[in-house]
Structure 1
Amino acid sequence: MGEPLDGWRRQWESPAGRRARRIAYWLVLAALAVVVVRRYLPDYDLADLGPAPPLAYADLDGETVRLDAFAGRVVVVNVWATWCPPCVVETPGFVDLAAEFEDDVQFLGVSADQDTSLVRPFGERYSVTYPLLVGPNLAGPPLAAPVLPTTYVVDRRGRIRMRHEGLLLEPALRPVLRELAREQP
């Protein structure tokens, strides 16, 4: 009764079995890498998705910040929340990109949190240098963000060129910003 199992065990532990397991391991790892890269570092077609809506939200000091104040610059509008794990993951990359493209790109973080006492410590913890705004009713116009985070990229002419729902990593956003920063207004 133990013979079929013993035969299988001998094959599994043989040099050929170990080689087969190693090959299977690397194939599974390569397939997983392809899935991760395609999901979190996608290629974007920078289509014209229409004009950006007239956004106006309060910053952490209560001052109104309007999207049209950044006319002629590329603007990244990231709708996020302090309690959102993917938002936490992407924030340091956005801070780095904001510094890298400071002459051409303006980042705006629109928080779904209504309480600035939650947003301010988040900004300090992650050394956020771009304006953090508090926006009411983010599920509807002017920013439809049923998924957090949602990121919009607006070109120099005020047209939405990219909309991404979910985690957006720095290596995926960098080529988009590079391309849009080269475009003339």
Structure 2
Amino acid sequence: MKTNNKNTTKKTWIQYGVFALIAITLYATGLHTEVIGFAQRGLLATGLMNPDVKELVMAQESANTTDAPNLTKADMNFNLLDSDRNVTSLKELKGKVIFINLWATWCPPCIAEMPSINTLYDTVGDDVAFVMLSLDRRFETAKAFNERKGYGFPIYAPADAIPEMYNTNSIPSTYVIDAKGNLALTHRGMADYSDPEFIEFLYSLK
């Protein structure tokens, strides 16, 4: 009986050691962020994290009403650095629907929602301008991540201070600007942006 107990204890410690080694390896290689992001992706399938339907409807009504008093003009005075290190500006996207997403490679919820954003880009990319704004300390890190994942959307880094309208301590954060230059939607946290209702909402802002 004692021998069996010793064998069981030894096996348990070996299992703990293997789990610890896996955890250390994941953190050492930086892959823990992607593992956590993959786990959180399951939450997106529930739809509970998506922008509120009421919020979408209100934003849509505001965008379609020219004399609506509660419209907020988006701050277009923001310079961006593209992946080729060219400086561009939100002003150059004026007249288009703009999807802005603040993210970073070290942010698991950001990683979790990216496949849905890439699907969204494949669906509406010809009609909607995408500004995937990396907050990584080194832009090269974000570029390498995007290339490794094979995402098609363009990524940017701030070329100057982020305007107060988009400055937040919470990422991912997403902003949608309509074709008239109004801030149509602000959403904090991850979401499934490939949702048909959200796609319909974007098309309504043209």
Does residue 180 of the first structure (1) align with residue 202 of the second (2)?
Answer: yes
**One-letter amino acid matched to 2:122:** A
Percent identical pairs in the alignment equals 26
Q: Which moved more, 1:125-134 or 1:157-166?
A: 125-134
1:120 to 143, 162, 173: 143
| TM, length-normalised to structure 1 | 0.70
SS of equivalent to 1:98: helix
Q: How many residues were matched structurally?
A: 148
Q: Which moved more, 1:149-158 or 1:175-184?
A: 175-184
| TM, length-normalised to structure 2 | 0.64
Aligned partners of 2:101 and 2:131 also within 8 Å: yes
Aligned partners of 1:74 and 1:105 also within 8 Å: yes
SS of equivalent to 1:119: helix
Structure 2 unaligned regions, length at least 5: 1-42, 63-69
Q: CA deviation at 1:69?
A: 1.4
Query: Which stretches of structure 1, 4 residues or longer, exceed 4 Å deviation after superposition?
Result: none
Which structure has the greater CA radius of gyration?
Answer: 1
Aligned partners of 2:134 and 2:142 also within 8 Å: yes
Query: Which residues in structure 2 correspond to 1:5-84 (within 5 Å)?
Result: 36-40=46-50, 42-43=52-53, 44=56, 45-46=58-59, 47=62, 50-53=72-75, 54-84=77-107
Query: Which residues in structure 2 correspond to 1:89-104 (within 5 Å)?
Result: 89-104=112-127
Judged with a 3 Å threshold, the aligned counterparts in structure 2 of structure 1 residues 58 and 41 are, in CA distance, closer, same or farther, namely closer
Q: Name the CA distance, whole Å, in 2 between partners of 1:124 and 1:158.
A: 31
SS of equivalent to 2:169: coil
Q: CA deviation at 1:38?
A: 3.5
Q: CA deviation at 1:122?
A: 1.2
**One-letter amino acid matched to 1:181:** Y
Q: Name the CA distance, whole Å, in 2 between partners of 1:156 and 1:109.
A: 18
Structure 1 unaligned regions, length at least 5: 1-32
Q: CA deviation at 1:134?
A: 1.2
Aligned-residue Cα RMSD (Å) equals 2.3
Q: Name the CA distance, whole Å, in 2 between partners of 1:49 and 1:80.
A: 26
Q: Name the CA distance, whole Å, in 1 between partners of 2:132 and 2:205.
A: 23
Q: Name the CA distance, whole Å, in 1 between partners of 2:51 and 2:174.
A: 14
**One-letter amino acid matched to 2:202:** L
**One-letter amino acid matched to 1:50:** T
Q: Name the CA distance, whole Å, in 1 between partners of 2:106 and 2:86.
A: 24
Residue 163 of structure 1 aligns with which residue? 186
SS of equivalent to 2:117: helix
